[in-house]
């Protein structure tokens, strides 16, 4: 049972309190032992319970890959769709059903390779979706080929001499596409991931969350350098100085070039202050550019950007509602005949 509420922008919430187990389906969870997907699944289930989202008003759409088994393990509605096409199905659902909380679960292969264009356009249109991209920097389901996020020189069965491709940084891609909400977290950081997921679910518009996720079989330890209080982690919190975990180093703007650069600080006030709500995405993009996509010697995590903007599905529904049928026909006729004529 659910009731209409404005708690999640019109999506009905449950009338009764929910627990994590309420979102766990009866399906046997079948990922490899030690896979980071287990932790993400648990955190998503807990986050949905705490948000109070009604299960019957929740839809999870996935593509193809290890991450795309997600809908089977959630006691909500779900669609296991085609390779890379999850954002398109999710867009249609969001357009037709404003009363639903629509989630997309994808991976670095599914979402950035065959599905790259679909992801870009869902973000630039600002469709009301919560998009989770699991990034393990490898194709796992197909047994360990380089993915769009694999580092250059990655040696696999299909790249025995090392991959030549320069890797995508999903965060730069999302911000470049105009994402109104963009965040990054690790599968091993339960507190930050839960915080990010809650903010993403409450965001009205396209919310993009990149999750660094370990694959113990084909790319084990890919993110070990970022675990715990790693000196490589750069935590972003709105309204606070951008500092590393040690509190001694931070990010400041170089007075000569104007670029952001990591530096040893004599005082925390030297660091730039993070403004996730700035309509201008240039500083968020500059922070994303600091990511070391090769050795992960530096990785900003947290919410890069969270701003309000017109939502595609809201605008589309309003466009259909505004004129009457006769007015729509008159507009169409006007466009067909127009005022310009040509004599041939």
What is the model's pLDDT at position 1? 41
Residue 208 or 333, more confident: 208
- pLDDT score of 9 more than 70: no
The total number of structural domains that make up the chain: 1
220-261: per-residue pLDDT in tens? 999 999 998 899 999 999 999 999 988 889 999 999 999 999
Per the structure, the complete domain to which residue 177 belongs is given by 2-229
Q: Is residue 242 one of the residues assigned to a domain?
A: no
**CATH number for position 166:** 3.40.50.970
Q: Is residue 317 one of the residues assigned to a domain?
A: no
138-179: per-residue pLDDT in tens? 999 999 999 999 999 999 999 999 999 999 999 999 999 999
**95 exposure class (CB count in 10 Å sphere: 0-12, 13-18, 19+):** middle
Residues 133 and 168: beta-carbon distance below 8 Å: no
Q: Is residue 257 one of the residues assigned to a domain?
A: no
36-86: per-residue pLDDT in tens? 999 999 999 999 999 998 999 999 999 999 999 999 999 999 999 999 999
Q: Is residue 124 one of the residues assigned to a domain?
A: yes
Q: 5 pLDDT band (50/70/90 cuts)?
A: very low
What is the model's pLDDT at position 4? 41
Characterise 153 by phi-psi region: left (phi > 0), alpha (psi -120 to 50), beta (else). Answer: left
- pLDDT score of 186 more than 50: yes
Q: Is residue 268 one of the residues assigned to a domain?
A: no
What is the model's pLDDT at position 341? 67
Q: Is residue 335 one of the residues assigned to a domain?
A: no
Token pair in block for residue 90? 């999710």
3-state secondary structure of 226: helix
3-state helix, strand, coil in the chain (%, to 5): 35, 20, 45
- pLDDT score of 3 more than 70: no
Token pair in block for residue 327? 């007015």
Q: Is residue 306 one of the residues assigned to a domain?
A: no
Question: DSSP states of 77-136 as a string?
Answer: EEEE-STT-HHHHHHHHHHH-TTSEEEEEEEHHIIIIITHHHHHHHHHHT-S-EEEEEE-
Q: Is residue 333 one of the residues assigned to a domain?
A: no
């Amino acid at each position: 049972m659910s009731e209409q509420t404005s708690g999640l922008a019109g999506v009905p919430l449950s009338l009764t309190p929910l627990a994590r187990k309420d979102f766990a389906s009866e399906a046997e969870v079948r990922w490899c032992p030690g896979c980071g997907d287990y932790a993400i699944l648990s955190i998503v289930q807990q986050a949905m319970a705490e948000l109070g989202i009604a299960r019957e008003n929740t839809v999870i759409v996935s593509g193809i890959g290890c991450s795309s088994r997600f809908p089977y393990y959630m006691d909500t509605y779900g669609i296991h769709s085609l390779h890379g096409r999850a954002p398109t199905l999710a867009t249609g659902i969001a357009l037709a059903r404003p009363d639903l909380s629509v989630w997309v679960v994808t991976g670095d292969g599914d979402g950035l390779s065959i599905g790259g264009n679909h992801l870009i356009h869902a973000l630039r249109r600002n469709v009301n979706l919560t998009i989770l991209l699991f990034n393990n920097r490898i194709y796992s389901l197909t047994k360990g080929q380089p993915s769009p996020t694999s580092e250059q020189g990655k040696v696999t069965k299909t790249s025995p001499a090392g991959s030549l491709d320069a890797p995508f940084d999903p965060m730069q891609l999302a911000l470049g596409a105009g994402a109104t909400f963009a965040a990054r977290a690790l599968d091993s950081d339960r507190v930050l991931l839960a915080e990010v997921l809650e903010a993403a679910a409450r965001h009205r518009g396209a919310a993009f969350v990149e999750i660094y996720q370990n694959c113990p079989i084909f790319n084990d330890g890919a993110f070990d350098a970022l675990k715990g209080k790693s000196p490589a982690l750069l935590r972003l919190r709105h309204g606070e100085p951008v500092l590393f975990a040690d509190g001694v180093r931070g990010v400041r703007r170089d007075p000569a070039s104007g670029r952001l650069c990591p530096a040893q600080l004599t005082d925390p006030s030297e660091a730039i202050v993070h403004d996730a709500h700035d309509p201008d995405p240039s500083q968020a993009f500059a922070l994303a550019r600091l990511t070391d996509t090769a050795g992960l010697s530096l990785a900003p995590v947290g919410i890069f950007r969270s701003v309000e903007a017109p939502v595609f599905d809201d605008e589309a529904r309003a466009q259909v509602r505004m004129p009457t049928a006769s007015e729509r026909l008159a507009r169409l006729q006007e466009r067909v005949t127009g005022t310009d004529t040509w004599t041939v």
